[in-house]
Structure 1
């Protein structure tokens, strides 16, 4: 245990389960879910730790105002809001709950794909409007397809486990791993995956390298028309390129839990045009960044994060 209580500023809305966990671990904290960036810059100097979710960008400007800061905890999986180079320069530890919502993400990916393949959303809408069209809603079986997972970390593996019961072939490509084939997925090169996959599912972080990875070139290099699932980060997929793929038949359909711009009231003209096409298409299923956003994962993320802080000797 630490000799003194470490003080943490919590700068985002959190599930109330977090506070009992922090109390039990022996942390002191100040919960400020509505804090503005300017207020954060003024208060952070007094704290040893910072816990965030999705609204706070961690950059050099903020870190320069936090001379005591020992750690940052991200109550979620992605780290794209944190300047990791700036954090490393200051020897600040970063923790994130990468395992906390992986089951929820896996279920969302498979659920969206099943709904798309079997026309559940389209058929439901039609029946509600008095249309009984069986032939027009004839679907495809997941077991007949090859699914390619790009990224085989927490979320990719959780998705593969959930796919295993459907009898489909699952290929996985992960640039940063080797020898990771298991009973759920077969390791493959990106080229193999693009040649063979009927479905591409994204399970990678947003980085300079992955930004707009799914673009006209990528779509044009696929070996056959494919379905796209993006439950990772919106900016990995160019929506204008996706629309062109849907229009020319290169893309059979898309499941999008994330968009390159999720502020729907502030879309650029190009983004607005793409969004209008996608929202009217029966071959597209859209959800508002809720993969991983379950009642269970909301608590589990806190459990994973606090456990990491304790195991690092911060409590």
Structure 2
């Protein structure tokens, strides 16, 4: 079933006699039961229910899929939902013939080839803010755990060792927290840390208004030299890869603590191991790794030397893994995907022009919505407007992002014959990537 094909008959509709605001028109040229959704990596049940409410077919897996199994599954689905383990490379996306959108039910999107997706007219949505509180709370717990050496005492007790000590165990009150990256997570962490009696300094490449009494520093080196705890909250970019290495760790105060709940490529693991074993670092917490297993189980063997480091908290990328965060992520991403499928709105897409139009009223029986994804080259809008010249364009909105542009237009006085002709003319334009007509 090609969702793009507008060959179905226009639905019969009657005008409402109610004095209340007209209901939005259901913009669907397709049977919702034919829309196929593939959800991997145990995406939260809130998303599953949201898709099922629309009448879509929903297939779920608790694990990531790789290789031929992933390619086989993605070939005929219209939407795929993933978390951080599934890798949607160019090779995989080239096999996805019907794919309209990708939902990353997490913060990051580095597991998706965003450029390839955009060139194929596939919008990618994520949830950049929904797990901010969960990660911030985890960092607070890690700092207390490291300062009191709770991880080591816990392991000793499990081995039957009673080791009641206070040496090198501290309160976090009165200590300096240095936050690298003062975005949604970093700023929330700042507020929580100050409530615990800590002083907060932060470094960010952007000039940002501090919350509370936090102070922005001009250089990373200045932050490293004065912080008792250094917590990393930056995205994975070329300029952030390997940003914390041997030189940066040696620049930290002796006995300071390093926490990485951002991306695994930010900290050089050998330098971290050396800093812990030499005693220069008082401890560390690591939730992310340069290479992570695709599924749960006994697969984590790439960093055996970490296992012998003192006062080290190791967790399996669970910063956002709370019921509250996953529920909010499920709601946010599924809502964006449903809106894109049913109405064409792309607000929140990370690789795509973000545009939207208010819903067509239910009593506008002869109004259809044109969705035209195309190459961003000169003269395209002129060609489209010439094609639409025989119709009444009620609303039109267009925008571009890089090489991709997107046009939404609501057109009235459209008959079934007009629909097919309009679709054929639009798809025949040289710049066309993907065209859909919703009604």
| TM bracket (short chain) | 0.7 to 0.9
Task: Output the aligned Cα RMSD.
Answer: 2.7
Q: Residue 313 of structure 1: CA displacement?
A: 6.8
Instruction: Give the secondary structure class of the aligned counterpart of 1:235.
Output: coil
Q: Residue 126 of structure 1: CA displacement?
A: 4.6
Note if contact 2:37-2:57 (Cα within 8 Å) is conserved in structure 1. Answer: yes
Note if contact 1:261-1:267 (Cα within 8 Å) is conserved in structure 2. Answer: no
Cα distance in 1 between the residues matched to 2:321 and 2:264? 16
Quote the residue 1:297 is aligned against: 325
More moved, 186-195 vs 119-128:
119-128
Aligned counterpart for 2:289 among listed residues 259, 281, 284: 259
Quote the residue 1:195 is aligned against: 225
Residues 102 and 289 of structure 1: CA distance in aligned 2, closer, same or farther (over 3 Å): same
Quote the residue 2:334 is aligned against: 306
Quote the residue 1:104 is aligned against: 134
More moved, 181-190 vs 249-258:
181-190
Q: Which string of whole-angstrom CA distances, capped at 9 and with x for unpartnered residues, describes residues 56-108 of structure 1?
A: 21111122122432221011112221122222333422111222222111111
Quote the residue 2:209 is aligned against: 180
Cα distance in 2 between the residues matched to 1:294 and 1:184? 29
Total equivalences in the alignment: 306
Residues 79 and 123 of structure 1: CA distance in aligned 2, closer, same or farther (over 3 Å): same
Note if contact 1:2-1:313 (Cα within 8 Å) is conserved in structure 2. Answer: no
Instruction: Give the secondary structure class of the aligned counterpart of 1:236.
Output: coil
Q: Residue 147 of structure 1: CA displacement?
A: 0.9
Residues 179 and 74 of structure 1: CA distance in aligned 2, closer, same or farther (over 3 Å): same
Residues 135 and 199 of structure 1: CA distance in aligned 2, closer, same or farther (over 3 Å): closer
Cα distance in 2 between the residues matched to 1:135 and 1:10? 48
Quote the residue 1:59 is aligned against: 89
Q: Residue 265 of structure 1: CA displacement?
A: 4.0
Note if contact 2:246-2:271 (Cα within 8 Å) is conserved in structure 1. Answer: yes
Note if contact 2:187-2:211 (Cα within 8 Å) is conserved in structure 1. Answer: no
Cα distance in 2 between the residues matched to 1:131 and 1:301? 42
Quote the residue 1:15 is aligned against: 44
Cα distance in 1 between the residues matched to 2:122 and 2:264? 28
Cα distance in 2 between the residues matched to 1:261 and 1:69? 28
Quote the residue 1:239 is aligned against: 269
Quote the residue 2:241 is aligned against: 211
Instruction: Give the secondary structure class of the aligned counterpart of 2:284.
Output: strand
Q: Which string of whole-angstrom CA distances, capped at 9 and with x for unpartnered residues, describes residues 195-233 of structure 1?
A: 322211111223333232221122233365521011122
Cα distance in 2 between the residues matched to 1:11 and 1:2? 28
Q: Which string of whole-angstrom CA distances, capped at 9 and with x for unpartnered residues, describes residues 267-302 of structure 1?
A: 45xx32x22422xx2x21222222211222222220
Q: Which string of whole-angstrom CA distances, capped at 9 and with x for unpartnered residues, describes residues 232-280 of structure 1?
A: 2223222211121123343221012233344464645xx32x22422xx
Quote the residue 2:27 is aligned against: 2
Q: Residue 125 of structure 1: CA displacement?
A: 4.5
Cα distance in 1 between the residues matched to 2:232 and 2:72? 38
In our comparison, the structure showing a higher alpha carbon Rg is 2
Structure whose residues are more often helix by fraction? 1
Q: Residue 165 of structure 1: CA displacement?
A: 0.7
Instruction: Give the secondary structure class of the aligned counterpart of 2:47.
Output: helix
Note if contact 2:190-2:211 (Cα within 8 Å) is conserved in structure 1. Answer: no
Cα distance in 1 between the residues matched to 2:210 and 2:341? 34
Residues 289 and 36 of structure 1: CA distance in aligned 2, closer, same or farther (over 3 Å): closer
Q: Which string of whole-angstrom CA distances, capped at 9 and with x for unpartnered residues, describes residues 168-197 of structure 1?
A: 11122222x323322263322323322322
2:114 maps to 1:89: no
Cα distance in 2 between the residues matched to 1:99 and 1:254? 25
Instruction: Give the secondary structure class of the aligned counterpart of 2:265.
Output: helix
Cα distance in 1 between the residues matched to 2:279 and 2:87? 38
More moved, 187-196 vs 68-77:
187-196
2:305 maps to 1:277: no
Note if contact 2:99-2:122 (Cα within 8 Å) is conserved in structure 1. Answer: yes
Residues 7 and 174 of structure 1: CA distance in aligned 2, closer, same or farther (over 3 Å): farther
Note if contact 2:146-2:257 (Cα within 8 Å) is conserved in structure 1. Answer: no
